Amino acid sequence: MKFTKTLLATTALTVAAGAATAQDMTVVSWGGAYSKSQLKAYHEPYSAKTGINIINDDSSAEAVAKLRAMNEAGNITWDLVDVEAADAIRLCDEGLAIEIDHDAMLAAAPDGTGASADFGSSIVSSCFIPQIVFSTTVGYRTDMVGAEAPTSICALFDLDKYPGKRSLNKRPLANVEWALLCDGVAKEDIYDVLATPEGQDRALAKLDTIKDQVVWWTAGADTPQLLADGEVVMGSTYNGRLFSAIAEQNQPIGMLWDAQMLDFDGWIVPAGLPEDRQKMVMDYLFFATDTQRLADQAAYISYGPARESSAPLVGNHADLGIAMAPHMPTDPANATNVFVTQYEFWADYRDDIDAKFQAWLAK
């Protein structure tokens, strides 16, 4: 069994190097610039304060499936997971995340407002601890849209005025809402219309008018790349990606805030953690989701803090030194016309509309 020995010996060597620390906490997130912002704003100060070593696991995209599998196998290796609000609801429904008493477990605002009031409507599920507000919105090539830059979301559907390709998410979310809005449905009626089969057909029919001109993206990094290549004149993506392409990469790109789809991203604590680990996680969360910490994160990435009390504390970009507040989706100037994702609706209709959407795509 020579090779077994070699295997054990080699692995033991590598492991010995990293196994010295007393307490580790595995935090799962998305990777890339977003994880970096969390590292700077939350992890580093927390580790400095407590000595707990935080391990970053960039698995959020697989989090839902992996958490379910871990739960069934009875081996939870993650301590804290960063997920989108819709996934938090799903995980909560599946019993894979623990319920949180926000007021009791999280820090109050500096003025004493309880956490749940401070977070407000961003607490979309009892398992969800909001962290940031992000939005899905539209960016465009300033040098390809002609003299008149688009100001309305309906520019997406206006092939006469803005000819050329556009990139859209390969999922129905945001696309169908925009389609109905630009098809003349009043904003407050959209989800009522979308709940009916006729309404769903109507949204797809509107999207059908631009289908030939659409490049469908699956990863958040796609649209900025397509815009930088000049492959598309405009496309939807997350506002932080657009900020990065515009301000950090100096690309000839502009962005719309009209009809941005607001969405939340935050933490869930996996169900079934041992007592001591859960306690450690809650201590971290108390620290990492307080008013100052959430505001700090905005210095590294242009997503808005989920606490109302954090907004005034948002400062400047860590490298570029520009004020970040005007780049937040929640900034009053940007938030004149917003959609807030209807999570209940999507929890019910996601599978149904997605099936129809995919069938329509394949047509």
- What letter does residue 219 receive in the DSSP assignment? S
The piece of 44-52, 109-117, 141-149, 228-236 that touches other proteins (CB under 8 A) is: 228-236
Q: For residue 335, state whether it binds other proteins (rule: CB under 8 A).
A: no
Q: How far is the CB of 109 from other proteins (least distance, A)?
A: 27
Q: For residue 355, state whether it binds other proteins (rule: CB under 8 A).
A: yes
Q: For residue 68, state whether it binds other proteins (rule: CB under 8 A).
A: yes
- Residue number, 101 or 201, with CB nearest to other proteins: 201
Across the strands, what pairs with 84?
Answer: 265
| Residues 193-212, interacting with other proteins (CB under 8 A) | 201, 204
Burial environment of residue 148 by CB neighbours within 10 A (0 to 12, 13 to 18, 19 or more):
exposed
Bin 184: left if φ > 0, else alpha if -120 < ψ < 50, else beta: left
Q: Evaluate whether 98 touches 127 at the Cβ level (below 8 Å).
A: yes
Applying CB under 8 A, among 33, 105, 159, 313 the residue interacting with other proteins is 33
| Residues 105-164, interacting with other proteins (CB under 8 A) | none
Phi/psi of residue 359, nearest 5 degrees: -65, -40
Across the strands, what pairs with 81?
Answer: 28, 268
- Residue number, 163 or 326, with CB nearest to other proteins: 163
Q: Evaluate whether 178 touches 185 at the Cβ level (below 8 Å).
A: no
Residues in the chain: 363
- Residue number, 92 or 179, with CB nearest to other proteins: 92
Q: For residue 15, state whether it binds other proteins (rule: CB under 8 A).
A: yes
The runs of H, that is alpha helices, within the chain are 2-18, 32-38, 44-50, 63-73, 85-93, 102-105, 115-119, 175-182, 190-194, 197-208, 222-229, 239-243, 275-288, 291-297, 343-362
Number of residues in contact with other proteins under rule CB under 8 A: 74
The piece of 29-37, 273-281, 289-297, 307-315 that touches other proteins (CB under 8 A) is: 29-37
Q: For residue 11, state whether it binds other proteins (rule: CB under 8 A).
A: yes
Query: Pairing mode, if any, of strands 234-238 and 166-169?
Result: parallel
- Residue number, 287 or 360, with CB nearest to other proteins: 360
Q: How far is the CB of 82 from other proteins (least distance, A)?
A: 12
- Residue number, 6 or 151, with CB nearest to other proteins: 6
| Residues 245-274, interacting with other proteins (CB under 8 A) | 249, 251
